[in-house]
Amino acid sequence: MTKSALSPRPLDLVRYQNNSKPGLFSPLNAPMTDWQGRSVWLVGASSGIGEATASALHARGARVVVSARSAPALARFTDAHPGAVALPLDVTQTDAVLAAAQTVIADAGLDCVVYCAGHYREQRAMQFDLAEMLRHNEVNYVGALHVLDAVLPHLLRQGGGHISLIGSVAGYSGLPQGLAYGPTKAALINLAETLYTDLRPAGIGVSLINPGFVETPLTARNRFHMPALISPQQAAQEILTGWARGHFEIHFPRRFTRWMKALRLMPYRLLFPAIRKFTGL
Ligand SMILES: NC(=O)c1ccc[n+]([C@@H]2O[C@H](COP(=O)([O-])OP(=O)(O)OC[C@H]3O[C@@H](n4cnc5c(N)ncnc54)[C@H](OP(=O)(O)O)[C@@H]3O)[C@@H](O)[C@H]2O)c1
């Protein structure tokens, strides 16, 4: 077994003791504050939130491995971040994901994996496009399964580490134009909840990142006003703060996500008219 860089730390911030029982108000995950020397693999980090988070982690001393399809973009990242490693891959290719995971683990072990890969095209039922529906599923959801398949055996043997999945507030409830995207994010939310339940006793942390609107290539085609829009750097800061506080769900910006959470709690009789009122669709 490859020893993870986190194993020898006396005060292990990534790993929960198997028998620890958190109280009602204690953090759901072990707070992650000390990134020095941690091995973090970010999948979907050639741009946007993944890239900004990789950069923020690198600045805190983490050994960052970045993956995505665009090798030139990843090379620009490693040029600008000495010590960072690029492993280009397509998350829809099982073997490529497995090979990259094996490289990450063999090189420096794995403390934390962050699934940031995402695909988004607006779609409504009147223009149902099966190919796009399946594409969203392959990148946003099945790609995450490929990564889990590749890292879970190692993390379970290690008895520690952390898995973070980027979902979206679009997964809270069905929204107009989210026909292809929303269901994949709802699936990721459910996946993260179930992973947490299963992996917490094994000492492995799981967090779910649900951003509101962030200014990235993914949202650049949106023609509507994006309320409470933040930069990828602000998103990265929110993510690091959420990890440091040991949150399970890291959602931001709260001035927007609070409203999305309130919508989710509404009975459908009130929810559907509210969505129509806010979106005009
Ligand atoms: N921006 C927002 O407002 C917002 C809100 C909520 C949730 N999110 C989520 O946040 C995550 C990051 O998105 P972002 O906004 O930062 O957009 P982004 O800049 O477009 O980042 C998406 C990343 O996914 C990678 N990717 C896409 N398809 C891939 C594939 N087949 N294989 C490997 N990598 C792939 C892209 O790289 P390549 O193209 O080089 O492969 C890129 O690095 C996504 O899960 C997104 O759904 C974003």
pTM: 0.94
- Give per-residue pLDDT as tens, 41-54: 999 999 999 999 99
Q: Please enumerate, as own/partner, the contacts of 195-200 that have beta carbons within 8 Å and a separation of 24 or more.
A: 195/148, 195/163, 195/165, 196/28, 196/248, 199/155, 199/163, 200/16, 200/28
How many angstroms separate the CA atoms of 43 and 21, rounded? 31
- CB of 147 shorter than 6 A to ligand 1: no
- CB of 231 shorter than 6 A to ligand 1: no
Distance 117 CA to ligand 1 centre (A): 4
Q: For residue 103, how many other CB atoms are within 10 A of its CB?
A: 14
Task: Assign 237 to helix, strand or coil.
Answer: helix
Burial grade of 265 (CB within 10 A; 0-12, 13-18, 19 or more) = exposed
100: phi then psi, degrees, rounded to nearest 5:
-65, -45
- CB of 215 shorter than 6 A to ligand 1: no
- CB of 217 shorter than 6 A to ligand 1: yes
Closest Cα to atom 11, ligand 1: which residue?
Answer: 116
- Give per-residue pLDDT as tens, 129-170: 999 999 999 999 999 999 999 999 999 999 999 999 999 999
Under a CB-based contact definition with an 8 Å cutoff, are residues 98 and 87 in contact? no
Distance 74 CA to ligand 1 centre (A): 13
* Helix and strand element counts for the chain (H, E): 9, 7
Q: How confident is the model at residue 21 (pLDDT cuts 50, 70, 90)?
A: low
Task: Assign 9 to helix, strand or coil.
Answer: coil
Ligand 1 atom at shortest distance from the alpha carbon of 69: 41
Complete domains list, the chain, with CATH:
39-279 (3.40.50.720)
174, 94, 85: which is closest to 138 by C-alpha? 94
- CB of 68 shorter than 6 A to ligand 1: yes
Q: How confident is the model at residue 24 (pLDDT cuts 50, 70, 90)?
A: confident
Distance 70 CA to ligand 1 centre (A): 12
- CB of 49 shorter than 6 A to ligand 1: yes
